[in-house]
Amino acid sequence: MAEVRPAALQKQLDGSPKASENCAAASAAMSSLRARKNVNPKMGFPWLTNSLPTMSSAIRKWCDQHFTTSVAFGLYQRWVNAAVKAMYGVTLGYAFSISRLTARAYLKDHRGISITVIYSYFQGTKYAGSVFFGRHRIYLNEERWNATKQRVETLVYDPLCDGRHPWVPKGPQWIPNSLIWKAAEAATIEVSFTARTA
């Protein structure tokens, strides 16, 4: 069964105000793409655009208008989930402090998920899109078994991996599960997940 994939990586560093804090918004944008199977629900909000306002910056703006976002660095997942429900008609589930097996079960059930990771775990690897070391949100679409490398890998859409520098990866990457879940467990696994789509 083929998995639905977001049509394009949604970057957080889009030139909008507070873009450095928009990883949750960009990840929710990719969750919305999957949930809608890349079909624009035509609710009047940006959809699959690289020019401002992007999906990420529009989600940020909606949160700023409806919540007291000045009290936090970044956006709380509950705010972002409310935004995509209002903007794109997408209902995202939420789970906190769960096991990696439970989190992976969402992927195996044909759901896209976004998770919080500690980005320092990505430093020194070819997967890092920034020299940032703190909490960061990424979108995960599906798993596979890599027979050549004898490991399970996950297709990751990191909002920082936009190819803006020669050393920055561009687009989704297959990343070893061992790396992803160590980084997620260090943050206490926090998952937002789509409805079942395949």
- 81 beta partners: none
Residues found in the chain = 198
With CA atoms as reference, report the closest residue to 25 among 67, 69, 77: 77
Q: What distance in Å separates the CA atoms of residue 57 and residue 52, rounded to the nearest whole number?
A: 7
The confidence band for 71, taking pLDDT boundaries of 50, 70 and 90, is confident
Residue 11, pLDDT > 70, answer: yes
Whether 140 contacts 155, CB under 8 Å: yes
Q: What distance in Å separates the CA atoms of residue 68 and residue 82, rounded to the nearest whole number?
A: 14
Percent of the chain, pLDDT > 90?
96
Token pair, residue 160, equals 């920082």
Residue 85, pLDDT > 80, answer: yes
- 138 beta partners: 115
Give the residue, 146 or 1, on which the prediction is more confident. 146
- 151 beta partners: 146
Q: Looking at residue 90, what is its pLDDT?
A: 98
User: Which whole number is the average pLDDT over 5-34?
Assistant: 97
The confidence band for 72, taking pLDDT boundaries of 50, 70 and 90, is confident
pLDDT tens digits for range 110-128: 999 999 999 999 999 999 9
The confidence band for 68, taking pLDDT boundaries of 50, 70 and 90, is very high
Each domain of the chain, given as residue ranges in start order, spans 19-91, 94-193
Residue 1, pLDDT > 80, answer: no
Distances (CA, A) of 41 to 60, 73, 86, 87, 117: 19, 30, 11, 9, 30
pLDDT tens digits for range 124-165: 999 999 999 999 999 999 999 999 999 999 999 999 999 999
Q: What distance in Å separates the CA atoms of residue 43 and residue 46, rounded to the nearest whole number?
A: 9
